[in-house]
Amino acid sequence: MFENLGDRLQNAINKIKGYGKITEENISEITREIRLALLEADVNYVVVKEFINHVKEKALGEEVSKSLKPGEVFVKIVKDELVELLGGEKQDLYTSGNPSILMMVGLQGSGKTTSTGKLANMLRKKYKKNPLLVACDVYRPAAIDQLKQLGRELNIEVYSEESKNPVEIAYHAVEFAKENHYDYVLIDTAGRLQIDEQLMQELECMNDTVKPNEILLVIDSMMGQDAINVIEGFNSKLPLTGAILTKLDGDTRGGAALSIRHLTNIPIKFIGVSEKLDGLEEFYPERMATRILGMGDIMTMLEKAESVMDEEVAMKTAKKMQKGTFDLDDFLAQMQQIKKLGPLENLIKMIPGAKKMGLNNVKINPKDMAHVEAIIQSMTPEERQNPNILKASRKQRIAKGSGRSVEEVNRLLKQFEEMKKMMKMMQNGNFKMPF
C-alpha cells in the first residue's frame, strides 16, 4: 500500500534527520524531493503546492529552529500535514434511524457489490449488528447473483425481487427490514461504465424515497486523479456522505487517497485492502500517514488480531507460556490463528521500524506454513508435548509421514526452541524490541 510513495518520502525526510540545523536551503532541497514524490504518486498539483507551502512555513518557524533535534520536528510536521491532507479525524458512519440505511453507489467495475458485502460483514462481526443486503442492480443479472453468493458465504440475508424497478425494491426492502428488526440496510445500486443521466435520475429518486443515512461512493483507487471527476459528478446530484477506496492492496500510487478530501470535502470512510471478505478497513487518517512514513500501524494490527484470535486459545497459550509448558501443539494452534490474519508480509509492514530491520520486503510463502503444519501433525501426541524424545528414527518417520525432509524437521525443532527461549526472556523482562 503506497510502497513507492512511502519509500520516496521516507528517503527524503531521512536526509534532514542528519542535519544539525535546518536552513531555508536544506528545507528547499527536501521539499523539492517531497513535491516530486507526491506528483509521481498522481496527487493533484494544487494539493501538492498547498502541502509543500504548509510544510515549508512550519519548518522554518521558531519551533524548529530552537529545537535540539530539528530533523525529528520536521518529520512530525510532514506527518501532521499528511494527516490533515487525508482528512484529519476518522469519520464514523451515521447510525441514526432504525434501521440505518446505507446506499452504495459507484461506477461499474469499482468493486461496489463486493464492498457492500464486506461492509455488511464488518458491521456484523465487529459491531454485532444485524445487516440486510439489498440487490437493486436490476440491469446486470450477474450483480444480483454475485450479491446472493456473497450473502450465502457470509450467512447474511439478501433481499431481492423479480421487479425491474430498483426504487420500489429499495422501498420494500426498508419496510421488510423494519418488520424483521434489522439494524442496517445496505442497498447495492446499479453502476455504469460512466456517469449518465438515467443512472443519476434513478439514484436521485431512490434517495428521495428511502432517505438513506449514508450515501457511500465506491471508488477504484487505481483511477488516480480521475477519481476526483467521478466524485464531483456523483456529488452534484447526490449528497455523498463518504467514499470507500478499493484495491489499495494493488499497485496504487496514492493520488486519489491524498487528493479526495482536500478537493471534494468528501471523507474517506473505508478502504479495501484485500480481496477477502474481511478485507475492508475503517479509514484512520493518522494511521495511514504513519504507514506511509514507515512508522508502522500497531493499532490496526492489534485490532486485526483481536477480531480473529480465539480468546480461549489465547488465554490457554498465555498460561502455558507463564508455566514454561508451551509445546508443539500450542505452536500449531498459534500458527493456525495467525493464518486468519491474512498475508503475513502485510502485517509485518505495520510493525514500527520494519524497514530499518529489513522486514519491509519480506515474502512469506503460505506453503511454508502448510509444510510446518504437516510436520507437526505427523508427530504423535507424546512427541508434540515433549520434542526432546525426537531422535533420528522418529524424525525419519515424521519426515516420511509429512512428505518433507529430515532437514526441514530439524529446522522446525530449532525454530521452536528459539521461540521458547524468546518467551522465557520476555517472561523474565530481559527482552527488548529492536525499535
CATH at residue 31: 1.20.120.140
Domain holding 135: CATH number? 3.40.50.300
Please tell me the predicted confidence (pLDDT) of residue 157: 97
* Boundary-marking domain end, from 227, 260, 294: 294
Please tell me the predicted confidence (pLDDT) of residue 199: 86
List the domain range (segments joined by +) for residue 371: 302-428
CA distance 221 to 244: 9
Please tell me the predicted confidence (pLDDT) of residue 433: 40
Residues 400, 266: one domain? no
Residues 61, 166: one domain? no
Residues 309, 215: one domain? no
Please tell me the predicted confidence (pLDDT) of residue 362: 46
* Boundary-marking domain end, from 240, 266, 294: 294
pTM of this prediction?
0.71
Residues 52, 107: one domain? no
Domain count, the chain: 3
Please tell me the predicted confidence (pLDDT) of residue 20: 65
Please tell me the predicted confidence (pLDDT) of residue 119: 97
Please tell me the predicted confidence (pLDDT) of residue 396: 94
Residues 244, 364: one domain? no
* Boundary-marking domain end, from 260, 294, 328: 294
Please tell me the predicted confidence (pLDDT) of residue 147: 95
CA distance 415 to 332: 13
Please tell me the predicted confidence (pLDDT) of residue 245: 92
* Grid coordinates given for 62: 521558531
CA distance 238 to 199: 11
Residue 88: CA count within 13 A, CB half-sphere: 5
Residues 68, 156: one domain? no
CA distance 257 to 268: 8
Q: Which of the residues in the chain have pLDDT under 70? A: 1-2, 17-20, 62-68, 70, 250-253, 295-324, 337-366, 422-435
ω into residue 99 within 30 of 0, thus cis?
Answer: yes
Element (H, E) at 230: helix 226-235
Q: List the beta strands (DSSP E) in 201-320.
A: 214-220, 242-246, 268-272, 280-282
Residues 166, 314: one domain? no
Please tell me the predicted confidence (pLDDT) of residue 303: 59
Backbone angles phi, psi at 158, to 5 degrees: -115, 125
Please tell me the predicted confidence (pLDDT) of residue 320: 67
